[in-house]
Structure 1
Amino acid sequence: MPFTLATWNINSVRLREGLVQKLLGEETPDILCLQEIKTPIDKFPTEGFAAMGYRHLVARGQKGYNGVAILSKLPITDAGDSDYAALGHARHVAARLENGVVIHNFYVPAGGDIPDREENVKFGQKLDFLTDMRDAFRADRPQRAILVGDLNIAPREDDVWNHKALLKIVSHTPIEVQHLSDAQEAGAWVDVTRKDIPEGRLYSWWSYRAADWDAADKGRRLDHVWATPDIAGAAHGSRILRSARGWDQPSDHVPVFATFDL
């Protein structure tokens, strides 16, 4: 069963419902995983998406912040969620396809501005979240699974616009990269995007603070698609929709795509 999956931090699904519909209409992914939906699920704008064929929804929401959702043309069932680091936040949800593949949708905490857990509680929460992910994968190694989302870390030197300049900036510090690597290795996850696009600079986020984000091009690859080794070989066609950053009233993130033949 071939299908195309996209992941996108939408930064408020109600505010940007029109952009989601634009993406669904123009790119027609079979599954769209959204992060930072910023709404309780009873206020999620399901009707417009259902009218476009996306009638299946598995989601966890919160009023005003966080929240993750999986929209699908294909039938999916709720496969639960986990409260990593016991934050009480809606940052993870999972859905199961009819072929048994489980899709995990994550929104890892951003971590604040100071990369020191003693000075910045949010940074400590981010590291604890990643540690809990690692421990969960070690305790129950996933199989036939896909992990996507805004992981809020750009791990490789070519996942940021300037490696040296960002070594002390949250999202690219060595301790964050190591924590993400530990979680990845614990589940033997394959970075599908970099499997398909192994070389060159690759970004999925550009700050709102840039006067001209496109010209400055100071991006980071914070959004990821991973798969377990038993299905990673079936993944192909990865791409990042850079043009979405230039849409009207955009998110600061853009969609990341991958196709799976399963």
Structure 2
Amino acid sequence: MDVLTFNLNNPSRERAQRQLYWLAARPEQILVLTETAPSDGCDFLADRFEAAGFRVVFPRPERGERGVMIVSRLPLEAATTLSSYLPHRGVSVTVATTAGPLDIIGLYVPSRDATPAKTDRKRRFLEEAGRAIPSGTTGARLLIGDFNILEPKHEPRYPFFKPFEYAFYEGLEAAGYGDAFRQLHPTAAEHSWVGRTGDGYRYDHAHISAALVGAIHGCHYVHEPRTRSDRLTDHSALAVQLDVAPETQLRVSDPTDLGAAGALF
């Protein structure tokens, strides 16, 4: 089973159309799309995938807010929000596999600036998410998305990140989760977002519970959507490959080929 997380950056309708072509060509069965909004671009993506037979979980955030959308080629046994605080930013789904249920939790952690309001908001979300995420020592579970935090040993080191942000990453490890990318690439320097000054940040993460440690087959960043000339978004995607087989798949069609009634342009 392959999973991809991709920050949409709340696209316009035109950019969402280009993103659709790229996403539809990806091999992953599950797409965890972050930085969604109640917008024409995000509604377009949700509608196209649903019309093609995909299972779409998209708790639309209120105007001005952001969230997560999960698009699946596989049937989903359950779909819930992670917690009551900013619920659209934590979406949990369960997939039936031949080895038992696999939970996938998509996260889009709030960003912040130096203001107390945004700092407190991010701190509260991380605290609530930390309490709501089940222990990594039980069950098969993948946490994936744009965490807007860095690992404590991130290179380069940025002085403006606060202890509570690093504490969330460390808390996942203490709860039994492992950084999938670091498991396979312990010393690699990778960044999924690059600022205007050229400074890089590894914001997008995938963490696996102990039950999946032996099943992680691949984990790598896909830089193309960020670096191509017609940039699709400001983040690199992150792809995870698991040696886990789904019980069944949905019968889906190409979401970019919906006939004259659903013409893209």
Query: Is TM > 0.5 for Structure 1 vs Structure 2?
Result: yes
- Identical-pair percentage: 25
1:142-181 equivalences under 5 Å are 143-157=139-153, 159-160=154-155, 162-163=156-157, 166-168=158-160, 172-181=161-170
Write the letter of the residue equivalent to 2:67.
G
Write the letter of the residue equivalent to 1:102.
D
Write the letter of the residue equivalent to 1:176.
E
Q: 2:32 corresponds to which residue?
A: 33
Q: Is residue 185 of structure 2 the alignment partner of residue 197 of structure 1?
A: yes
Q: Deviations over 1:198-245 (max 9, x none)?
A: 1121111122x34xxxxx3x2100011111101122012111011221
Q: Does the C-alpha gap of structure 1 residues 121 and 180 become closer, same or farther in structure 2, counting only changes over 3 Å?
A: farther
Structure 1 distance, partners of 2:33, 2:173, is 21
1:39-118 equivalences under 5 Å are 39=38, 43-50=43-50, 55-62=54-61, 63-83=63-83, 86=85, 88=86, 90-99=88-97, 100-110=101-111, 112-114=112-114
Structure 1 distance, partners of 2:4, 2:136, is 26
Q: Deviations over 1:81-113 (max 9, x none)?
A: 1335x3x45211111112211110011111x22
Indicate conservation of the 8 Å contact 1:12/1:36, yes or no. yes
Write the letter of the residue equivalent to 1:39.
P
Q: 2:118 corresponds to which residue?
A: 122
Q: Does the C-alpha gap of structure 1 residues 200 and 173 become closer, same or farther in structure 2, counting only changes over 3 Å?
A: farther
Indicate conservation of the 8 Å contact 2:110/2:148, yes or no. yes
Q: Does the C-alpha gap of structure 1 residues 181 and 19 become closer, same or farther in structure 2, counting only changes over 3 Å?
A: farther
**How many positions carry a matched residue from both structures?**
237
1:205-220 equivalences under 5 Å are 205-207=193-195, 209-210=196-197, 216=198, 218-220=199-201
SS at match of 1:49: helix
Q: Is residue 205 of structure 2 the alignment partner of residue 254 of structure 1?
A: no
SS at match of 2:81: coil
Indicate conservation of the 8 Å contact 1:81/1:93, yes or no. yes
Q: 2:3 corresponds to which residue?
A: 5
TM-score by length of 2: 0.79
Write the letter of the residue equivalent to 1:195.
Q
Superposed CA RMSD in Å reads: 2.6
Q: Does the C-alpha gap of structure 1 residues 185 and 152 become closer, same or farther in structure 2, counting only changes over 3 Å?
A: same
Q: Which runs of 5+ in 2 are unaligned?
A: 245-265
Q: Which runs of 5+ in 1 are unaligned?
A: 211-215
Runs of 4 or more above 6 Å deviation: 138-141
1:230-241 equivalences under 5 Å are 230-241=211-222
Cα distance, 1:10 vs. partner?
0.9
Indicate conservation of the 8 Å contact 1:39/1:67, yes or no. no
Q: 2:22 corresponds to which residue?
A: 23
Indicate conservation of the 8 Å contact 1:54/1:72, yes or no. no
Q: 1:229 corresponds to which residue?
A: 210
Structure 1 distance, partners of 2:215, 2:55, is 24
Q: 2:257 corresponds to which residue?
A: none
Cα distance, 1:260 vs. partner?
0.6
TM-score by length of 1: 0.80
